[in-house]
Amino acid sequence: MIASSLALTAALLATDVPALVVRVDAANHRISLRLGPFDLPASGGGAGHAGMHHHGLELPVFRFVLPAGAWIRGFEVALFDGEGHPLPRRILHHVNLLHLGRRQLTQPILERTLAAGQETEDVLLPATLGVRVEAGAEMGLLTAWANETGEDLHSVILELRLPYLPENLVPRPLEVRPVGFDVGFRPGLPDGFDLDTGRTVHRREFVVPIGGRLLAVGGHLHDYGESLELIEATTGNVIVSLKPTLDAAGRVLSVSRKLFGINGAGRQLQAGRYVVTAVYHNRTGSVIENGGMAVLIAIFAPDDAGQWPALDRSDAVFAADAAGLDRIGWVTVAEGTGGRQRRP
């Protein structure tokens, strides 16, 4: 039973824009974001990242206000049709939950509070950890879809469930933040990269401006990915190494995780320079345009959260990233049931 509920509904102004409803279940400490229903045309097998942009569907970014302060502990993704039948996870290329008032650690862009791909497993942090999100925070929900089932899907619904701890919990949980290392990041542009034939290595250097502890690390790779590593730039020491599980055709089914904070204090990460490398093995014999992606995502406990870099909206990289989101389009979800969406 929903003990406390605030529904934020986007009523359709156009047939191709679905509704978003946000509810808070205070009794069970869960926030749910329900998006849909909408139709998802078939995009053809093996479409991947390129197919998502040319034949798939990228919905606008839904801007909404978080109705209750919370320490978010993770997420669960459910996909089903209008009759409640489950749909394959692979049709969801990615889902991002953006905090519109906070900065990423490794780039001067909006925080990706949650990021999950088609191969990402659900996450539940221990009850002693949480990502702090204040009541009234402006958030954004971004989704992209690639329907490789070979048939059109109708009345598709995404439900993103966020277990949380109440903001007045005593003692307070340890504050953690998501940290992303995106090898293909280009502000305002898609972060896919071309895959040449055979085995290729893709790398990018990052600056981590503050120290802290890695508690858990996961990753996102596309088909034909073989490995994803975080390396200390000055010493060459491998901090994290992740491997995907592939099927016989080279499709990525899952990516391994490292859980450093379950039986210990985590792995210390000093402020400094780090390199993320991704290895791909394209077996098709042809270049795959925009076929690769490599994102390493960590749960990070900063040594001093007060030293987290502030969001600078005048920064050129931020402006380019924001312009890219503007090109996708925004839908502002009005508060209250039956509220109509507004386009800024």
Specify the CATH number of the domain 177-305: 2.60.120.230
Q: Is 8 exposed, middle or buried (0-12, 13-18, 19+ CB in 10 A)?
A: buried
Q: CA distances (Å), 223 to each of 49, 251, 275, in order?
A: 10, 4, 22
The answer to whether domain 20-175+312-332 has CATH 2.60.120 is yes
153-166/30-40 β-pairing: antiparallel
**CA–CA separation, 317 and 296 (whole Å):** 20
Tens-digit pLDDT string for the chain (344 aa) = 233 333 333 333 334 689 999 999 999 999 999 999 999 998 755 444 444 444 468 899 999 999 889 999 999 999 999 899 999 998 998 999 999 999 999 999 999 999 888 878 888 999 999 999 999 999 999 999 999 889 999 999 999 999 999 988 999 999 999 999 999 999 988 899 999 999 999 999 999 999 999 999 999 999 999 999 999 999 999 999 999 999 999 999 999 999 887 656 889 999 999 999 999 999 999 999 999 999 999 999 999 999 999 999 999 999 999 999 999 999 999 865 333 344 43
**Six-digit token string for 285:** 């014999």
CA nearest neighbour of 257 among 270, 245, 271, 275: 245
- Domain extents in the chain: 20-175+312-332, 177-305
pTM: 0.86
**If we measure between CA atoms, which residue out of 282, 184, 180, 275 comes closest to residue 225?**
282
Question: What gap in Å lies between CA 287 and CA 302, rounded to an integer?
Answer: 40
Are 226 and 294 within 8 A, CB to CB? no
